[in-house]
Amino acid sequence: MADKINRITNTIPRSSKINKTSEVNLNSISSIKNIQKTSAASRVSSVQRSTISISAADQAKMFQMVEEEASKMFEGQNISNQKQETIKNSVKRTISASEIDEDE
The residues spanned by each domain of the chain are 52-104
Q: Give the separation between CA 81 and CA 91, rounded to whole angstroms.
A: 16
The whole-number pLDDT of residue 4 equals: 60
Other Cβ atoms less than 10 A from the Cβ of 77: the count is: 9
Q: pLDDT tens digit string along 20-56?
A: 888 877 776 667 777 788 888 777 666 656 566 777 8
Per-residue pLDDT averaged across 58-69, rounded?
A: 91
- Percentage with pLDDT > 90 across the chain: 22
Q: What is the mean pLDDT of the chain?
A: 76
Under the banding of pLDDT at 50, 70 and 90, the label for residue 104 is very low
- 56 or 63, higher pLDDT: 63
CB 99 within 8 A of CB 50: yes
CB 88 within 8 A of CB 41: no
The whole-number pLDDT of residue 37 equals: 82
